[in-house]
Chain A
Amino acid sequence: MNSVSNLAIKGLRSGKSRVILTILAIMLSTCLLTCIGIFSFSIRQMIIQQVISQTGDVHAEYRNVTDEQAAVLKNHVKVEEASEVMGCEIHPNPEKLGSISLAAQYIDNIGMVGLSLTKGHMPENKDEIVLEEWILGKLGVTPEPGSTVMLPCSVYGADGKEYKKEFTFKLSGVLKNSPVGVNWNSSVVLVSKEFARETAVAAKPSAHNVEVRFKSRFNISSQAVELGKSVGIMPENIKLNNKYITALAGDGNSLMPYILVALVVLFAAGIVIYNIFNISVAHRIRQFGLLAAVGATRRQIRRLILMEGLFLSVAAIPAGLLAGYFLSFFVIPSFAQEHLNIHVTPMIFPVAAAVSLISILISIRKPSWMASSISPVDAIRYNASEVTIRKTARKGKKTAGVERMAWLNLWRNRKRTIITLLSLTMSGILFMVITSLLTSMNTQNLTDMYTTGDFQLTSNNLRQTSPSDPLGGGLLDSIRKIDGVKEADTVMFQELYLDYREDCAYLPLRPEQEGMDLLCNVYGYDDAFMSRQLENITEGKVDPEKFKNTNSVLVLANDDGYSPFKPGDKVKLKKSYGGDGQEAVEFTVSGIIRKNVTWIGFTGAGPTFVAHQETFRRLGLDDRLARICVFSDEEKYDAVESILKGISEKNLSFTYVSQKETNEMYAKQVAGIRLAALSLVGIIGLIGILNLINTVITGILSRKKEIGMLQAVGLSNRQLGRMLQLEGAYFSIVSALISVIAGTALGYGFFKLFSQEATYAEYVFPIWPILFILAAYTLIQAVITFVVKNNLGRESIIERIRLNE
């Protein structure tokens, strides 16, 4: 070990409290960085998983390939995995399966599409087949390889017409049930390539595709296009899985919040480390002067300080990484969305460590320059307690007591005071902003946005795909008859289409969608809903009776409050997409609304309209009930709840929602977010406290001699305690005031921004956070000063006065 690192170690040994504080600060910031890394990575993985569940995890699909092209693609050096897929033009439709839809295909690599075999092997011979276990159960076939499967299908004849035909297959393997299939009432029938090819007829050539995943995740799109071109596939037959490719590439904007939080953490920790090193250098100025006098070069002195930083980092960073890793598993599940699995990539650790280390090196850069630029002569003259007093005189003939000395002492080292105040106020302001936002998250408003009444039943068949009417057939009447039901209000719903108008596009459109019909949601309200809605009219005058009896609608303005229609305008909406207007209905706009009192769950590209249910009936729109909202007597709530729950459990074609349960769910989510946000503020606050501890300790220790002298001239122990407490109190009062004032103002500003996104937000003046800040700052400061002062009390006055003599 060379003499510089030796000196660095000795330097560290001489200041244990400094070492502990620095290690804690580095540890906490590294721990937070790791947590942020793991959390953001897990979120990204979740998004990728969601995309995979929608689009699969293939990068590209090459369509209509030849066998030769398929072979080249599958064995290409850039390709990680590939699967050949061939459509099979038989359509199994056994009666036993009812509405379950089956698709027959040849797939040579089922792992790539998320399927796996539990038994047997993939179909090789023409008569072999593989099915999912739950389908076999429904067909009444023993799920064992070798079982016979009779499958009635419709097939195409050479003439292109459909015929019925029953096939007899031998089960070669059993597929593991896929949850998606069970939920969506669909499954797959895997057949051999030979069979698939045979079913293809001239009229219906079967698709022959290769799905590919590349080894490199960089520039996937261009890799895919180049590979396709190289094997002679036409560009129109190269289909990229853009959604997945985009998700993999990650989106800079979604990372911004994490980067911002990380920067705040780094800044908070950087301030502490800088402050600690700065003070420690100031205290050891004589030592550095001596080193310079005996021939240490400036570079060596700088290296000495950097070494100290490095030694501390070596101890603290691994501990921080480890703590962050374990903390992630405890904290993240408590607030994250239900399905967030924690994903950890090894990359997080070197990155967090490097970021942490760089921030440490930046923080100690200035102190190291300061240490290296001390001349031996200056060092010998130096007196730690006088270092930054630049003033030469101050008028004043007051007799200085404890209070005045405490106040003046606060400004004895202006820079240190300001840095400490900054780091204390930063966590205070952050706390205020976060709590302002959290308390403004009104879960009741959020619930009201999505539910009306105590219970809400919503049809699962809103889009006219089948004629079933789950909320019809006397259900409404029987609900109204339940003892305890005060009111049951209803909503109708239909999607209609508006001829393209640029100003009517509420959602951003893809280029190919421009010029196409805009989907508009149209709500049909009963009298009760209508009267609620009419309270929210921002433009136009509406007479409820006239509204009901004419073909009138209200138009929902967009997020900016703009409506493409004005009261009195006529709006023509078509019943089918791309329709020629034959089946169109015409409304008169009678008012503009900014808020729709209920939301069924769909969003169209065009404006949303609200009409009366009478108008729905008059115009022959879908007059089935889309939603029933039930209000119950408070005393009979439980009884009504159990009856409605009972009804909805029997019927899967509508969804039951209780406002109370929904509210509880949101409240739980908000509580989770609160825990996470407060943990974050807590750790940043802890870093701020480290700074306060450092300031108080060094503020007292560097004045030991002066304190001894003050005691000699008559400062009693009690007065000493009061002076130190007052110094701390000035710190806490100033920082608490700044935190409260700036925090409340900023909190309100952020609330305004937030409320644009979240209409359920409602500002609550943060009186509790303010009281908490005031109490916490006072208490923390008082405890720190008390402990430090007590340690000081063990020395005699003489020991203090003699210091440095």
Chain B
Amino acid sequence: MVILETKSLKKYYGRDDYLVKAVDDISISVEEGEFVAVVGTSGSGKSTLLHLMGGLDRPTAGAVIIEGRDIFRMNDEELAIFRRRKIGFVFQAYNLVPVLNVWENVTLPLGLDGMEADEGYIGELMDNLNIHQKKDCLPNVLSGGQQQRVAIARALSTKPSIILADEPTGNLDSKTGEEMMALMRKSVMKYHQTLVVITHDEKIAQVADRVIRIEDGRVAADGIRTVLDGSRMATPDGSRMVTPDGSRMTVSGGSRTEVGNVSAVKGGAEIE
């Protein structure tokens, strides 16, 4: 089932000679439970795309449909409420509230919604992310990795349908980054959530179900890949491909693929 869909999404800045097409006519759809990596060089428009998908920014044209609702038809107030209930954000710079301790930071979206935290669930979440023993700490004493885990827990606290992560490992060393991605992936699988990660780190892209490559604001490649449990893989048209042996598949670079055409790899060999 499609949970997130963009339709001819455009975000332009400036005008005439100074017109910048940050996102230029992007139409993609993301399946429920899918782990999508959006990759691209710096300035390719991938972050803008993510912000538009999360309703943090309004597009020049086009629509973002989440669970069948066009989010830009909502007013700011409705959008804010929708966001805190349906979407979890993870940012590169963690962005924890310095005056709140770890527990309060994690449960902040619930607090904003006027809800009490489900202590069992939050405890389990923090256990999974290995931050439970730090629950009373203020962010200023946590390491970067710990802060990012708190940010991930915060994004998961409301059990959102979609998690949008913008370079979540960008400020972390590669080992911690990998751990973080593994944790995130484990969490979303456990709670059957959809994860869209923006990254320029190929290693992270390698663990995603699907990789969308953005170049100059357009989708340069959109390919299915990987399923760690070997059970399924997705294609842009929504059909599923299951690898019989559960082997890893990688998506080749943009130069060898075209939009809409799936390049999957079996046993390291390319398949068209």
Binding site for B on A (CB under 8 A): 385-386, 389, 391-402, 404-405, 408-409, 411-412, 705-706, 709-719, 796-798, 801, 805
CA distance in complex: A377, B33 (Å): 44
Q: B111 near A393 (CB under 8 angstroms)?
A: no
Report B155 CB to chain A, min CB distance, Å: 8
| A709, B98: Cα distance in complex, Å | 12
What is the chain B residue whose CB lies nearest that of A723?
A: B112
**B131-174 with Cβ < 8 A to chain A:** 135-141, 154-155, 158
CB of B209 to closest CB in A, whole Å: 24
Are the CB atoms of A395 and B136 closer together than 8 Å?
A: yes
Distance, CA A472 to CA B139, complexed state (A): 93
In contact, A714 and B81 (Cβ under 8 angstroms): yes
Taken together as a complex, chains A and B put the C-alpha atoms of A504 and B87 apart, in Å, by: 91
Within 8 A of A (CB), among B96-115: 97-101, 103-105, 107-115
* Interface check B77, CB cutoff 8 A: yes
Q: Say which residue of A396, A712, A715 sits within 8 Å of B56 (CB atoms).
A: A712
Are A408 and B100 in contact (CB-based, < 8 A)?
yes
Q: Is A392 a contact of B138 with CB atoms below 8 Å?
A: yes
Q: 1/0 contact trace for B112-124 toward A, CB 8 Å?
A: 1111110100000
Interface residue from A385, A389, A399 paired with B110 (Cβ < 8 Å): A399
Per the 8 Å Cβ criterion, residues 62-95 of B in contact with A are 76-77, 80-81, 83-85, 88-89, 91-93, 95
Contacts of B270 in A (CB 8 A): none
B98, B103, B117, B119: the one within 8 Å of A386 (CB): B98
- Whether the Cβ atoms of B91 and A709 lie closer than 8 Å is yes
Select which of A397, A715, A716 is within 8 A of B103 by beta carbon.
A397
Min CB gap A716→B, angstroms: 4
Cβ A801 vs Cβ B141 within 8 A: no
- Residue with the highest number of chain B CB atoms closer than 10 Å, among A402, A796, A798: A798
Contact B98 A404 (CB under 8 A): no
> B111 contacts A400, CB within 8 Å?
yes
Q: A402-B112, A713-B112 are in contact. Are A392 and B57 (CB under 8 A)?
A: no
Question: How far does the alpha carbon of A779 sit from the alpha carbon of B39 in the complex, in Å?
Answer: 51
Query: Could you say which of B57, B99, B107, B138 contacts A798, with CB atoms under 8 Å apart?
Result: B57
- In the complex, the answer to whether A394 meets B136 with C-beta atoms within 8 Å is yes
* Bound Cα distance A396, B135 (Å): 9
> In the complex, are the beta carbons of B56 and A393 less than 8 A apart?
no
For B98, B110, B138, which residue has the most chain A Cβ atoms within 10 angstroms?
Answer: B98
- Residue from A391, A405, A714, A801 having most chain B Cβ neighbours under 10 A: A714
CB nearest neighbor in B for A395:
B136
Cβ contact within 8 Å between B91 and A714: no
A713 touches B137 (CB 8 A): no
- Closest residue of chain A to B108, judged by CB? A400
Kindly state whether residue B185 has any CB partner on chain A within 8 Å. no
* B177 CB–A CB distance under 8 Å: no
A656 to chain B, nearest CB (A): 72
Minimal beta-carbon separation of B143 from chain A (angstroms): 13
Query: Is B54 in the interface zone, CB < 8 Å from A?
Result: yes
A-B contacts, CB under 8 A, total: 127
Residue of A nearest to B84 (CB): A714
> Quick check: B140 and A389 within 8 Å, CB to CB?
yes
Task: Decide: A393 and B101 in contact? CB cutoff 8 A.
Answer: yes
Chain A, residue nearest B158 (CB): A714
Question: Which residues of B from 28 to 61 have beta carbons under 8 Å from A?
Answer: 51, 54, 56-58
> Shortest 10 CB-CB distances between A and B: which pairs?
A714-B84, A716-B80, A709-B95, A408-B99, A400-B104, A399-B111, A401-B111, A393-B136, A399-B107, A392-B141
Residues of chain B contacted by A716 (CB below 8 angstroms): 76-77, 80-81, 112
Contact A797 B97 (CB under 8 A): no
Is A713 in contact with B140, judged by CB distance below 8 angstroms? no
Interface pair A713/B89, CB less than 8 Å apart = yes
Assess A396 versus B136: contact at CB under 8 Å? Given A389-B98, A405-B99.
yes
> A residues within 8 A CB of B101?
393-396
Contacts of A393 in B (CB 8 A): 101, 136-138, 141
A709 cross-chain contacts in B, Cβ below 8 A: 89, 91, 95, 97
Partner of B99, one of A412, A705, A714, A796: A412
Q: CB distance B97 to A389 under 8 Å?
A: no
Whose C-beta in chain A lies nearest to the C-beta of B105?
Answer: A400
Of all chain A residues, which has the CB nearest B136?
A: A393
Q: Choose among A409, A714, A797 the residue that contacts B113 (Cβ–Cβ < 8 A).
A: A714
What B residues does A718 contact at CB under 8 A? Answer: 77
A711 touches B80 (CB 8 A): yes
B102 to A, closest residue via Cβ: A393
Q: How far is the CA of A714 from the CA of B81 in the complex (A)?
A: 6
B138 touches A391 (CB 8 A): yes
Question: What are 8 residue pairs bridging A and B, where the CB atoms are less than 8 Å apart in the complex?
Answer: A399-B111, A399-B116, A412-B98, A714-B81, A714-B85, A796-B56, A798-B51, A798-B56
Known A392-B141, A400-B108, A714-B109; 13 more pairs at CB < 8 Å: A386-B140, A392-B138, A393-B137, A395-B136, A399-B110, A405-B100, A409-B99, A706-B97, A712-B54, A712-B95, A714-B80, A716-B76, A719-B112
Residues in chain A near residue B80, CB distance under 8 A: 711, 714-717, 719
A399 near B115: Cβ-Cβ < 8 Å: yes
Tell me, in angstroms, the Cα distance from A397 to B116 when the chains sit together: 10
Cβ–Cβ < 8 Å partners of A391 in chain B: 138
Contact call A394/B138, Cβ cutoff below 8 A? yes
- For A715, give the chain B residue with the smallest CB separation: B112
Which of B76, B108, B116 has the most CB atoms of chain A within a 10 A radius of its CB? B108
CB distance from A133 to the nearest CB of B (A): 83
Q: Residue of B at shortest CB range from A406?
A: B99
* Contacting residues, chain A, for B158 (C-beta < 8 A): 714
* Cα distance A796–B13 in the bound complex, in angstroms: 13
Q: Are B100 and A400 in contact (CB under 8 A)?
A: yes
Q: How far is the CA of A715 from the CA of B109 in the complex (A)?
A: 8
B131 to chain A, nearest CB (A): 13
Q: How far is the CB of A698 from chain B (nearest CB, A)?
A: 16
Q: Which residues of B contact A711 (CB under 8 A)?
A: 56, 80
CB contacts (< 8 Å) of B107 on chain A: these are: 399-400
Taking the closest CB of chain B, its distance from the CB of A726, in whole angstroms, is 14
Cβ–Cβ < 8 Å partners of A710 in chain B: 97, 108, 112
Complex CA–CA separation, A409 to B104 (angstroms): 14
> CB-CB contacts of B190-229 with A at 8 A, as 1s and 0s?
0000000000000000000000000000000000000000
When the two chains form their complex, are residues A717 and B99 in contact, meaning their CB atoms are under 8 A apart? no
CA distance A705 to B100 in the complex (A): 16
Q: Which residues of A contact B88 (CB under 8 A)?
A: 713
B99 adjacent to A389 (CB under 8 Å): yes
- Please give the distance in Å from A798's CB to the nearest CB on chain B: 5
In the complex, what residues of A have CB within 8 A of residue B111's CB? 399-402, 404
Q: Are B97 and A405 in contact (CB under 8 A)?
A: yes
| Interfacial chain A residues near B116, Cβ < 8 Å | 399
Q: Given the complex of chains A and B, what is the CA–CA distance between A801 and B89 in angstroms? A: 12
Smallest beta-carbon distance B29→chain A, Å: 23
For A411, what are the chain B residues with a Cβ–Cβ distance below 8 Å?
99
Residues in A neighbouring B97, C-beta threshold 8 A: 400, 405, 706, 709-710
Most chain A CB within 10 A, of B54, B109, B119, is at B109
Question: Are B83 and A712 in touch, CB under 8 angstroms?
Answer: yes
A105 → chain B, closest Cβ, in Å? Answer: 85
CB distance from A114 to the nearest CB of B (A): 73
> In the complex, which residue of chain A has the Cβ closest to the Cβ of B101?
A394
The CA of A518 and the CA of B48, in the complex, are separated in Å by 97
CB distance from B50 to the nearest CB of A (A): 10
Q: How distant is B255 from chain A, measured CB to nearest CB, in Å?
A: 30
Q: What is the CA–CA distance of A402 and B57 in the complex, to the nearest angstrom?
A: 23
Tell whether A805 pairs with B99 under 8 Å between CB atoms, given A393-B141, A714-B113, A716-B77.
no
Q: Which residue of A lies closest to B52 (CB)?
A: A798
